[in-house]
Structures are given as structure tokens and as C-alpha cells.
Amino acid sequence: MELAGAIVALLGSIFLFLGALGLLRMPDVFNRMQAGTKASTLGTVLFLVGIALGQQEGAVVGKLVILILFILFTNPLSSHALARAAHHIGIPLSKKTVKDDLSNDVIKDDDQHEEGGAE
């Protein structure tokens, strides 16, 4: 089981490296955030699963399961909130961006603020 744990942990570290590489290669903040979040979530989960396979102690595995669940819930939520905030303050998209699904939301928010609506 230790060998399987080492292989899974190595696979996780490869995903973490690819996520870091994606931060350097992507054209805008939104693509960088997406690449970093997906790769770091998968890489960290795989790394922790590899540690759990190698350790096999009840207390250690329980703590690692809690960490994995925390990462699975918080990484996507925090990156989504950061991306919406970045879009709302006007961080520019890449010239290669084909579709902007949030553009209508920003226009609606601006209209509400001008009319004295919800703040």
C-alpha cells in the first residue's frame, strides 16, 4: 500500500506543478484562476489520498478526509467569488475570450446602483 500511496502522491504533485505552470501560461486573470484552482484542488486531494494510503492509521486518515472535504468545498467557492469580484471591478478579459456570461449581471448591478436600489 505504501507504493500505491507514493504513486498517487506523485501524481498529485504533478498536478500541482501543472497548475503552477498554468498560472504562468494563461492569458488573463480568469484563466489563471481557473487553471490554478482546478489543478490545485485535484493535486492536493490526490496528494492527501496518497498520504492516507501510505499511513493507514485511523486518526491520520480521519484528519486527511476532513482536509480533503474542506479543500473540495472551499477551493471552488473561493475562486468563484474572486472571479466574480474581479469581473465586477472591471479586470479585462483576454482578447481570445469568446463569450462573457457575466456581462449582463454587471450591467444590471450598475443600473440598480444608479437608481438607488440595493447596495
Q: What are 59-98's pLDDT values in tens digits?
A: 999 999 999 999 999 998 999 898 888 888 887 877 777 7
Is the pLDDT assigned to residue 9 strictly greater than 70?
Answer: yes
**Total domains present in the chain:** 1
- Residue ranges making up the domain that contains 16: 2-94
Task: Give the percent of the chain with pLDDT over 90.
Answer: 43
Alpha carbon dihedral 108, 109, 112, 114, in 10-degree steps, equals: -110
Does the pTM surpass 0.85? The reply is no
Residue 10 lies in a domain: yes
Residue 100 lies in a domain: no
Is the pLDDT assigned to residue 45 strictly greater than 60?
Answer: yes
Residue 106 lies in a domain: no
